[in-house]
Structure 1
């Protein structure tokens, strides 16, 4: 049966159909094809066919494979023969014609229902054994297999189930039926198996179809597998996600503080060392898997970067300071967006590569440019469910996505789904196996609306705490930022969650004094902000620490210490630390040291003293280190390309049509400029002048001022002085083109407009 070629079929399609084709297969439009013949060549390339197959669902892909079983890549076949293959298995037929329509829209098939064709490259792109059937041996079409011995039929059934090839030593020697000893040798002797090499046999397609009987295509999965779900209260999902967002923010803040004080080194191979990851996990009171995810997030969000020095370290950037002072919802949006756009796979951390090397956080081996797209596929599937609807098992979601695109994702396809659910829950985009309202908004509307949605989900900040008799301070919710800063200064976090528990210790009270707070300030803080009576033990603790604090004072000369009590000065001098600090007395109440004041005070505090730093006016100075910072380097990810609009694709189709007309115009042979001297420029000039005289259209290829190749259909008006001036037919406006930028030109039929 004969059929039309792909190029002929494309020329007969409507412009809207070609626009839809270019939308579905964007690789066909880059660079713009010169004409339909070039477009058809690209459509039939193996790489383009393979990309087009990535988004096909299992059933549609099976229909395409069924056409290859019928050798539609060699000669056209009617759709009824495809129906017959599926009808044998009892599958519904309506879906077959729908699938053929989808494949035809993507130009993976062409022709009408009586003569459907596929590109020869389709077999290479789909696989050597479509539907699990081997290559054809036409001479076996009439062979019967029902009378074979059971042991031989068992071998045929195993190979018919797919794949149709098997490894066996019985294929090493060719034997006759009389000398055959094993079932495989007998089948080879009968010609029912084909020997491919000394260790490989293959079941021919015709025998496979006979063995399969009334299910010639095997078990066809017509419908996607069921997805178990359960209903949850949407507000509960959002509140749970909000709590996770606050915990995420707290952990990242602790990470930035830890790495500001002590940045970890960058490994020679890139990444973060195992010892540093364990230390971070201990500092955060989190497991190593969560710590590794946080490390990946802060780097992709631009909060931490490689210092790139002679001894490179992972150091917080100046962007971290802006993040630290931001509102909780904006903090979360920055981290959640960094996770969605992360071009890496944190789930691989802790595994070993092909060389048995451990994969560390931030290691280059974790780079996967397609990771954001794969992550969004899973999230969009969850976002398609109603608010509050949660999946019962991530593996079921993986199975659904595998049915929707079995050729997408590679060998880690199902694990990518599980990692997305796990990581999304840790980031707060998901909660209770459902997508949160803020996560859905981030996917569909962007960071700004998502931050507002999270702000609505979070409980209002509280302006009070509950002080307990055991010196614990309970924050019954999210504290307002000012109160949170004061409480974190005077108390240490013991546990975090919906209600954060702090504990006041002598060391934490001293920390507040070191930062410039007075005993009166702390008494007022707890008196005004505690909804419970302030216990007497806390009052005593503050007063006792205040009596000791600041009696010994230091100032920056190299540094000095002064004290009104000569006995305390003598006690300091007698301590072993004094020798290391090189302290010496210059007056009964004054000591000096050549070391920096901060170092002197830290050493004395470690020795059990309670000195305070003072400024020239005698006020207490806050000498806490602010941590290292480096210039922000932005995110690693490039901005995603903007897909072309329908108008742009429509213009491209019109130019392709113009290329077809230019190729078929009588006397309209294309004139190309060779890029060097010769007849090219002169011939181009003559062609353009001819078109101007006759009022004909010209298809012009040129290079614009940015070095980008482009094409337009022009009606020349003036040609001369090194310039072509004419009307752009597509837009109806006059344009000027320097002649030296025109690379080729061809006449287009006058009575047709692109």
Structure 2
């Protein structure tokens, strides 16, 4: 049996080879295998074989399929026969290297004249390996003669079945007696046994016919080497600066999203996501397309910047953590977002696709969850990291082709889409630029804490000035210092954004600055000191004009009060029909009071055309600007745990245990203890062990380890006492303790 020969083959491997096997296939190491026979049995389990195949490249898989075609799971075959089947375009040296790789994974064993594979491999490869059908009674020469005699219609059908799947559907398959003179090519081929009838609807091209059509390439098109990427030369500093620009754009849009949902939080759908209508509204507010907004939303929630409230009608609102994030430096902000994307166990690229009920998938929906998404992203970035310095990819499709060759079984039906989405998302986040990894992107992929610092070196120096224009616009020709940016957002509104931001100063924006406690002198000084261009007279007039009207009315709490030295203006307020709902009443020549909250009084008066300023109990100006609700950030979803690979020390220990088990299983046993009720007698066990220690003879032990695993050991006893056998484990050569209550059987080893 092949599995029996695998056991012996494993026993003949060196320790380093077994360590390499357990490293390549960590599922074989848990729980620790007792000996080589257990290791061989696990290596041949169908699920383990299928898992090992997921790590193989296209040519290695083609090699395994060729071995199945050669029936190496039933009778060993030769390397020469394998190379011949793989075709004349594949060199024997390439086949030999791949076979050696497969040996290292215990998917193939034996010497070059006796290659064998697990019996379960046939279940792990396609049902028609190499696109070949079942063999028939046709000889190779007969098949070649038959192919040469085919007419055009028959040859077209045979070529089609030989080039892809050997199976085809046709109504002619239901005919019990197909006619050789029929008008149907399929029926004529069936009549001459050049097609096999599989069922009433399916026919199959015999293997020999495919061989005759394929000629020197019996396994069809085989790719022995991975595709070559089409690269474009890029200067590294150009890649880094382009990445920095994308990062600044990303952070600006993320802050706009937090502002939009802080002012007007969207409701949480029953499915947990965000409604299409809310998404469109926000996309318009943030001035981005819906695809980019969807990615921003996914990242903001995963990074803990947005979270749902806990009330009966939950909404998506910024978190307290978002305030800390916004106060951080841009490079630190990027590091949080980029690391979140790299480890995100979800696929934002699926947003907009249809589910099984033909409904579009929205951001934050449960159907976007994909535990393997972080692994797939890292595969794409790792390939880009392999590119020579100063080079980038031309097209994501090239990356998809290479990764498809390296691991054809990964990714499923979305395999190529995953690559395209990963490249597009990485470019939007600044992890990739111009098809290459920037310096900060490489550091991020390596897990280096220097990623943020390296990005900071690529970001343009923040500016300490703006350019005021005559039309009351203010141009920021680049990234502003944080304090200057905050002041500009308070004094003016963003009119357009990009590499240069254009602000517009208006009456409402100046009033907003006054509401926050700024004075006219403050604004004049600000523009005089921060503008590299002369301050236009129109801006000076605007600031002074709003100042004259602003704050003449003073609002306080009574619940709210209004005070003004101008009794005529106060009378106008009291007589205004638009302010009737405030229930104002006069308590002094210069004071009115209202039972309504201060914020409502101020907002209503502003809507009616007045310009009051809020005042605190100490007479200082109050900033009533709404900050929006805040909630605590949700814990970040942990990345899925991959099957752990044991450490080097653990692998070495596992191999020592296998060796010890092999020695124990092959040891010749002499006198043994007679079991009582399934276990050896305690007194007889002690007597046998003490006698072996006295006469320096080794014993064979059936033993249960601390994890409950049954093992076998050959031990040279030293002392027996206190419920412990102390002796040298002849598998590892180390002195160890063996509790007597864990010994299930014992026998003296015959030398």
Same topology, TM > 0.5? yes
Match of 2:50 in 1: 50
**Alignment partners' CA distance in 2, 1:511 and 1:153:** 81
**Alignment partners' CA distance in 1, 2:430 and 2:281:** 24
**Alignment partners' CA distance in 2, 1:284 and 1:30:** 51
The answer to whether the 8 A contact 2:21-2:104 is kept is yes
The answer to whether the 8 A contact 1:668-1:747 is kept is no
**Alignment partners' CA distance in 1, 2:658 and 2:590:** 93
**Alignment partners' CA distance in 2, 1:603 and 1:254:** 27
Secondary structure at the aligned position of 2:561 is classed as strand
Query: Which digits, 9 at most, give the CA deviation of each residue in 1:36-82, with x for residues without a partner?
Result: 22222222122222222222222222122111111112211000001
**Alignment partners' CA distance in 1, 2:24 and 2:548:** 76
> Offset at 1:727?
8.1
1:545 aligns with 2:546: yes
Match of 2:189 in 1: 187
The answer to whether the 8 A contact 1:175-1:185 is kept is no
**Alignment partners' CA distance in 2, 1:517 and 1:737:** 81
The partner residue of 1:210 within 202, 212, 215 is 212
Residue 225 to residue 615, structure 1, CA distance change in 2 (3 Å): same
The partner residue of 2:436 within 434, 452, 459 is 434
Secondary structure at the aligned position of 1:73 is classed as coil
* Between 631-640 and 101-110, the greater mean CA deviation after superposition: 631-640
**Alignment partners' CA distance in 1, 2:34 and 2:590:** 91
**Alignment partners' CA distance in 1, 2:3 and 2:35:** 21
Match of 2:528 in 1: 527
Aligned-CA RMSD value: 3.2
Match of 2:663 in 1: 661
Match of 2:566 in 1: 565
The partner residue of 2:337 within 335, 342, 365 is 335
Match of 1:198 in 2: 200
The answer to whether the 8 A contact 1:665-1:749 is kept is no
**Alignment partners' CA distance in 2, 1:531 and 1:305:** 42
> Offset at 1:452?
0.7
Match of 2:380 in 1: 378
Counterparts of residues 731-742 of structure 1 (less than 5 Å): none
**Alignment partners' CA distance in 2, 1:56 and 1:489:** 58
**Alignment partners' CA distance in 1, 2:730 and 2:261:** 61
Counterparts of residues 291-690 of structure 1 (less than 5 Å): 291-446=293-448, 448-638=449-639, 640=641, 643-667=645-669, 679=677
> Offset at 1:556?
2.7
> Offset at 1:659?
2.7
**Alignment partners' CA distance in 1, 2:630 and 2:279:** 20
**Alignment partners' CA distance in 2, 1:524 and 1:709:** 80
> Offset at 1:307?
2.8
* Between 330-339 and 41-50, the greater mean CA deviation after superposition: 41-50
Residue 643 to residue 572, structure 1, CA distance change in 2 (3 Å): farther
**Alignment partners' CA distance in 2, 1:669 and 1:21:** 37
* Between 75-84 and 712-721, the greater mean CA deviation after superposition: 712-721
The answer to whether the 8 A contact 1:167-1:199 is kept is yes
* Between 301-310 and 369-378, the greater mean CA deviation after superposition: 301-310
Residue 57 to residue 589, structure 1, CA distance change in 2 (3 Å): same
**Alignment partners' CA distance in 2, 1:452 and 1:100:** 46
**Alignment partners' CA distance in 2, 1:39 and 1:105:** 14
Match of 1:24 in 2: 24
Query: Which digits, 9 at most, give the CA deviation of each residue in 1:351-397, with x for residues without a partner?
Result: 11232111001111111111111111111111111233121111122
Match of 1:41 in 2: 41
Secondary structure at the aligned position of 1:32 is classed as coil
**Alignment partners' CA distance in 1, 2:554 and 2:459:** 45
Residue 158 to residue 749, structure 1, CA distance change in 2 (3 Å): farther
The answer to whether the 8 A contact 1:665-1:748 is kept is no
Match of 2:120 in 1: 121
Query: Which digits, 9 at most, give the CA deviation of each residue in 1:448-477, with x for residues without a partner?
Result: 210010011112222122222222222222
**Alignment partners' CA distance in 2, 1:638 and 1:470:** 52
Residue 736 to residue 667, structure 1, CA distance change in 2 (3 Å): closer
The answer to whether the 8 A contact 1:134-1:203 is kept is yes
List structure 1 segments (4+ residues) > 4 angstroms apart after TM superposition. Answer: 1-4, 138-142, 176-181, 639-642, 666-671, 678-693, 695-700, 708-740, 744-752
The answer to whether the 8 A contact 2:3-2:41 is kept is no
* Between 709-718 and 269-278, the greater mean CA deviation after superposition: 709-718
> Offset at 1:633?
2.1
> Mind listing any 5+ residue stretches in structure 2 that lack a counterpart?
none
Query: Which digits, 9 at most, give the CA deviation of each residue in 1:249-306, with x for residues without a partner?
Result: 1111121222223222211112111111112111110000000000011111122223
The answer to whether the 8 A contact 1:304-1:314 is kept is yes
> Offset at 1:565?
2.1
1:243 aligns with 2:210: no
Secondary structure at the aligned position of 1:110 is classed as coil
Secondary structure at the aligned position of 1:67 is classed as helix
The answer to whether the 8 A contact 2:9-2:110 is kept is yes
Match of 2:110 in 1: 111
**Alignment partners' CA distance in 1, 2:549 and 2:671:** 98
The answer to whether the 8 A contact 1:701-1:745 is kept is yes
Query: Which digits, 9 at most, give the CA deviation of each residue in 1:679-711, with x for residues without a partner?
Result: 56776897588557745686754446xxx9798
Match of 1:220 in 2: 222
Residue 309 to residue 40, structure 1, CA distance change in 2 (3 Å): farther
Residue 114 to residue 712, structure 1, CA distance change in 2 (3 Å): closer
The answer to whether the 8 A contact 2:255-2:326 is kept is yes
Secondary structure at the aligned position of 1:114 is classed as coil
Secondary structure at the aligned position of 1:109 is classed as coil
**Alignment partners' CA distance in 2, 1:272 and 1:385:** 39
Query: Which digits, 9 at most, give the CA deviation of each residue in 1:554-578, with x for residues without a partner?
Result: 2233222222223333333333442
Residue 514 to residue 94, structure 1, CA distance change in 2 (3 Å): same
Secondary structure at the aligned position of 2:450 is classed as helix
TM-score (norm 1): 0.91
Secondary structure at the aligned position of 2:198 is classed as strand
Query: Which digits, 9 at most, give the CA deviation of each residue in 1:698-750, with x for residues without a partner?
Result: 6754446xxx979897988777777787889999998888888x5x7566999
1:92 aligns with 2:91: yes
**Alignment partners' CA distance in 2, 1:304 and 1:110:** 55
**Alignment partners' CA distance in 1, 2:681 and 2:522:** 90
> Offset at 1:324?
1.2
Secondary structure at the aligned position of 1:591 is classed as strand
The answer to whether the 8 A contact 2:555-2:561 is kept is yes
Residue 702 to residue 615, structure 1, CA distance change in 2 (3 Å): farther
**Alignment partners' CA distance in 1, 2:545 and 2:712:** 86
The answer to whether the 8 A contact 2:664-2:712 is kept is no
The answer to whether the 8 A contact 1:160-1:203 is kept is yes
**Alignment partners' CA distance in 2, 1:309 and 1:751:** 77
Residue 718 to residue 174, structure 1, CA distance change in 2 (3 Å): same
Secondary structure at the aligned position of 2:474 is classed as strand
Match of 1:76 in 2: 76
The answer to whether the 8 A contact 1:668-1:746 is kept is no
Secondary structure at the aligned position of 1:431 is classed as coil
Residue 576 to residue 360, structure 1, CA distance change in 2 (3 Å): farther
**Alignment partners' CA distance in 2, 1:168 and 1:558:** 86
> Offset at 1:650?
1.5
The answer to whether the 8 A contact 1:134-1:202 is kept is yes
The answer to whether the 8 A contact 1:712-1:728 is kept is no
**Alignment partners' CA distance in 1, 2:16 and 2:750:** 22
> Offset at 1:193?
1.8
The answer to whether the 8 A contact 1:663-1:670 is kept is no
Secondary structure at the aligned position of 2:627 is classed as coil
**Alignment partners' CA distance in 2, 1:258 and 1:457:** 29
Residue 236 to residue 568, structure 1, CA distance change in 2 (3 Å): same
